[in-house]
Structure 1
Amino acid sequence: MIASVIAVEGGYVNHPADPGGETNMGITKQVAVANGYVGPMRTLPRGVAESIYYARYLVAPGYAALISIDAAVTEELFDTSVNMGASRPSAWFQRSTNALCGTTLTIDGRLGPGSIAAYQSCQAKLGAAPLCVATLGILDAWQSGEYARLIGANPKLQVFQKGWIANRIGNVDRRKCATVKA
């Protein structure tokens, strides 16, 4: 999962239209510094990037607890959190669980035990694979809408739209849902 994101993110970039500024392997300078990195972004070691991805975008938002329950949805949440922060995809996960399952999760953008238990209950109700496919579709729809909103608010971001759509929407293979067990 982490290797896939690093492959999409690529190496060092300092694009003038990117509000994140300098990045390497998708890690912004601000995030690298906040995680103790003091060197130049051009030479950010892969191991440091992997550690940041694991701690900040998999464990901190609660996604690590979801891996054994639905690895495909976890991959989507992780990838989206790298691209736009964890609170958005976490809230979208909660909204999709409520919409698909009739649950009443509080939309707080934090994936905790209640959100995971509600999703597991929904797997038992709808079937793990169908829920996985539906959840991925809803998450992609929310993400597409967020890209449109971001570009509307900051037209300079239009330069990234093609890459966002090509690499971030529909990027988790739905066939992975067939391996999900309730």
Structure 2
Amino acid sequence: MTGSASSFDVQTLIEELMAREGDFVDHPADKGGATRFGITEAVARAHGYDGPMALLPRDEAAAIYRRLYWLRPAYDQVARRAPRVAAELFDTGANMGPGVATTFLQRALTALNRNGKDYPDLEPDGRVGAATLAALDAYLALRKEEGETVLLRALEALQGERHLRLAEKRPANEAFLYGWLANRSGDSD
């Protein structure tokens, strides 16, 4: 994702994610079960959809992504500061859960704060709040545009390591590892 915060278009981000996720899928090795556009049946049901998963409307899937994976975790607030980081968090959050994605951000920011010299360490609680945004602001003020690229690399490294660990822990996940790595990393350049 490129562009300034003012030109950031979350709808395009959602459309791109749904295109990568594909239409209806019910892979036997997927513990999440049936999905459409990447939305699991459990998530669709929790948000009021009661029809067949193969018929989940595209606009309803997009609304779920906007609500649960963009607005609720406050990635819109991150996008005002670092649009590419927000796009990465959205993608990771859709795949692993926003709490995991946000924890990656908090861990990376803490590891990049030069032992607390630049801003205080963050508690990796999986929630974007005032402390996380303040740390991001301080980091970006110090490191500028190059800092956003370095932060993206840290987030992608954490995501990739988690994918590998999931495949090692549950061999059935090896069916998904190539796609996880091909479709969800390397966008920082």
Same fold? TM cut 0.5: yes
Aligned residue type for 1:41:
M
Q: 1:154: how far off?
A: 0.7
The residue number in structure 1 matching 2:14 is: 2
Instruction: Give 4+ residue runs of structure 1 displaced > 4 Å after superposition.
Output: none
The residue number in structure 2 matching 1:177 is: none
Aligned residue type for 1:66:
V
Which of 68, 81, 84 matches 2:93? 81
Matched, 1:46 2:58: yes
Aligned residue pair count:
172
SS of 1:164's equivalent? helix
**TM-score normalised by length of structure 1:** 0.92
The aligned runs of 1:26-175 (5 Å cut-off) are 26-101=38-113, 102=116, 103-127=120-144, 129-170=145-186, 172-174=187-189
Q: Summarize deviations over 1:42-69 as a string: whole Å, max 9, x none.
A: 0110110010000000111121111111
Q: 1:173: how far off?
A: 4.0
The residue number in structure 1 matching 2:10 is: none
Q: Is the 8 A contact 2:149 2:188 kept in 1?
A: no
Aligned residue type for 1:119:
L
Q: 1:164: how far off?
A: 0.7
**TM-score normalised by length of structure 2:** 0.88
Aligned equivalents of 1:118, 1:40: Cα separation in 2: 43
Q: 1:153: how far off?
A: 1.4
| Unpaired stretches in structure 2, ≥5 consecutive residues | 1-12
Aligned residue type for 1:85:
G
